[in-house]
Amino acid sequence: MSATWTKRIISIVVVGLVAAGLIWLAWPRPLPVDLATVANGPIEVTADDDGKTHVRHIYTVSAPIAGKVLRISHPLGERGPLLHVGDEVVANQTVIALMQPTLPGFIDVRSRDQLQAEVLAADAAIQQQEAEVQRIEAALDFSKTEFQRAQTLSRTQTISAQAFDKAKFDVATNEAALASAKAQVDMRRAVRTSLAARLMDPANASPPSEPTCCVRVLAPASGRVLKIIQDSEATVLPGTPLVDIGNPFDLEVVADLLSTDAVQIKVGAPVRIDGWGGAPITGKVVRVDPAGFLKVSALGIEEQRVRVTIDFNDSPQAWSQLGHDYRVVVHVTTWSGQDVLTVPISALFRKGDQWAIFVDENGRARAKPVQIGHRNNRFAEVVSGLTAGDQVVVHPSDRIADGSRIAQRGAP
């Protein structure tokens, strides 16, 4: 009898242990979560975007005339001034470029035949005018002989005063006609020279070898060469950009921000500059352009942008490694507070048309609606719904619901 009861007791104990184990395994366990504490502290809202450094005053040296600009990177004694990016230039002293006259253009067959015919006509006109000069010279010699005779006869008063004046007038008239004929010969020869110059073959034309014959383009301001736009030898038009000059130590930062961010930025707003390969730099906004422009993003989205100009606050030693057109990342402060109740932005989620958050209440997750004010990419200002010291769930998963048991991840 005792053995039977012993077996029954053992069976009951085993069944009870198995049932307890099943119940323990099936019993819901607290969900592991990450918790954060709501606290008062400073918060700053910034407009973040890429920017680039920019020399404040850039002088673009352009070609003053149409002509052939020599290669800028060659020594001055050979073909052009010795100039490279980064070289220092002095205002009104450093030669930026040398320009020579352009070679004549090629002439088509019909134009060449026409010019050759005009040259022949000019030669004939010169011969005709030279013959006219000879005729007038003969007439002048005859009139001078007649005038001498008239002078001889006038001494014996055997010639009338009218005849004497007529002989004198003929001499003066023929002298003037001779001068006019010689001027006509010079004019026709000049026309012939002009026509012959238009027939010049570009293959036989060579540019002047002496640099003194060329136009020297001087630096308009002192600084350094930022960019050589026209490096190779080429024929350019007036106003063609050749070289950019500026002071690399007179830098500013320009950033094209979204217009929705730009309306919140005021002149004098503090700026943090980083992402350039060195320590963060401080700056301030000095200008917000009054007009925006359309810019297409890398994703093909049309965005309305506004250019914001920023000056450095730190000494030049802090940003001496920066140069013209270097990439930076700017963080322009649009709002800041020192003693603000903040909550991590990762703890917020949408519930209907409101923001909500899970609060840890004695190991239970309680969903509470909250009202949010300013926020950045890490924290949000809590206007109502929470108090300092509340424990909130960060990155809540879809397994958490109102009333779910939770526990700090990694807690014993």
Query: Cα 91–95–100 angle (5° rounding)?
Result: 140
- Would you place residue 211 in the very low, low, confident or very high pLDDT band (cuts 50, 70, 90)? very low
How many percent of the chain have pLDDT more than 90?
Answer: 40
- Would you place residue 79 in the very low, low, confident or very high pLDDT band (cuts 50, 70, 90)? low
- Would you place residue 26 in the very low, low, confident or very high pLDDT band (cuts 50, 70, 90)? low
Q: What is the pLDDT of residues 318-376, one digit of tens each?
A: 998 998 999 999 999 999 988 899 999 999 999 888 999 999 888 888 899 999 999 88
pLDDT at position 174 over 80: yes
Least confident of 65-74, 300-309, 388-397: 65-74
Rounded CA separation 82/341 (Å): 63
What integer pLDDT is reported at residue 333 of this predicted model? 93
- Would you place residue 275 in the very low, low, confident or very high pLDDT band (cuts 50, 70, 90)? very high
Between residues 81 and 30, the one the model is more confident about? 30
Least confident of 134-143, 195-204, 286-295: 195-204
Tell me the domain boundaries of the chain.
31-43+339-408, 58-103+209-246, 109-199
31-43+339-408, which class in CATH? mainly beta
Interval 125-130 mean pLDDT: 90
Pick the closest to residue 361 from 405, 397, 400 (CA basis).
405
pLDDT at position 158 over 80: no
Asked if 306 and 256 count as a contact pair (C-beta separation under 8 A), the reply is yes
pLDDT at position 2 over 80: no
What integer pLDDT is reported at residue 74 of this predicted model? 56
What integer pLDDT is reported at residue 245 of this predicted model? 94
Rounded CA separation 84/89 (Å): 10
Pick the closest to residue 86 from 216, 246, 277 (CA basis).
246
What's the fold here for domain 109-199? Answer: Helix Hairpins (1.10.287)
pLDDT at position 77 over 50: no
How many percent of the chain have pLDDT more than 70?
Answer: 89
pLDDT at position 83 over 80: yes
CATH code linked to domain 58-103+209-246: 2.40.50.100
Q: What is the pLDDT of residues 217-265, one digit of tens each?
A: 999 999 999 999 988 888 899 999 999 999 988 999 999 999 999 999 9
